[in-house]
Amino acid sequence: MLKQHIKKWWASSIIIFVTLFYSGFAAAHGKVTLESDICVRNMAGSMVHLSTYQPQYDPEAEYCTEIPHEGETLWVLDLVDHALRTMPIDIKVVRNNGDTPGETITSLHSTNHADGVIKGQFNLNKGQYTLSITGLGIPALHYEYPLQIQSKNLTDTFFAVTPYIIAFLLIVLFTDKYLKWRQIQH
C-alpha cells in the first residue's frame, strides 16, 4: 500500500514540476501587445519590430536580440509606422568592442519596402553586435537593437529557474508530510 502511494506521489510531483517549469517559458515572446513587445523600438511615435530566425536549428523558433547560435540568421524588420514605408532605410550591423563601436559587419540600403517588410540575413560569430536602423526622412529616425549571439548568462538562467525548483521542493515536502499523516491515520 505504501509503495502505491509513493509511486502516485512521485508521478504527480513530476507532472506538477514539468507543468510549472514548461508554462513559465512558454510565454516568452508570443502574445504580448505591440507596446510591451521587447522586439519593438519606438521613436517619436514611429515603431519598428525585429524578428530573427535560425531555421537550421529550430524552424519554429523566433528570436529578437538574443540569438542562441552563431552562424546564418534570417531577420525580418516590420515597419509598423506607414510613414517609414516611404523613406529610404539604412540598416547596419556593427560588432561591439567594449564601449566603442567596432567594424561594420554588413549593411543594407532599402528603398523598396512599400509592404512594410525588409528581410535579410547575416552570418555572425559569437559575441555582441548592434543592429542600427535609420529612416532617412526629415527628421531622421534611428533605432538600435543590441544583439547577443550565443552568449548564455548563467546568472539569469539560475534566477529564472530557482522559483520552479523551490516550488517543486515545497510540493515534495508537503506531499511527504501529507502521506506520513495519512499513514498514521490508518
Q: What CATH superfamily classification does 37-164 receive?
A: Macroglobulin (MG2) domain (2.60.40.1930)
* Residue-level pLDDT at 3: 58
What pTM was computed for the model?
0.62
Boundaries of every domain in the chain: 37-164
* Residue-level pLDDT at 7: 56
Residues 6+ apart with CB under 8 A from 126: 70, 149, 150, 151
* Residue-level pLDDT at 19: 47
Going residue by residue through the chain (186 aa), what tens digit of pLDDT does each one get? 555 555 555 545 555 544 444 444 333 445 667 667 888 998 777 889 999 999 999 999 999 989 999 999 999 999 988 888 989 999 999 998 766 668 888 899 999 888 999 999 999 889 899 999 998 988 888 999 999 998 665 666 777 788 899 999 999 989 988 888 888 887
Q: Phi/psi of residue 139, each to 5°?
A: -80, 160
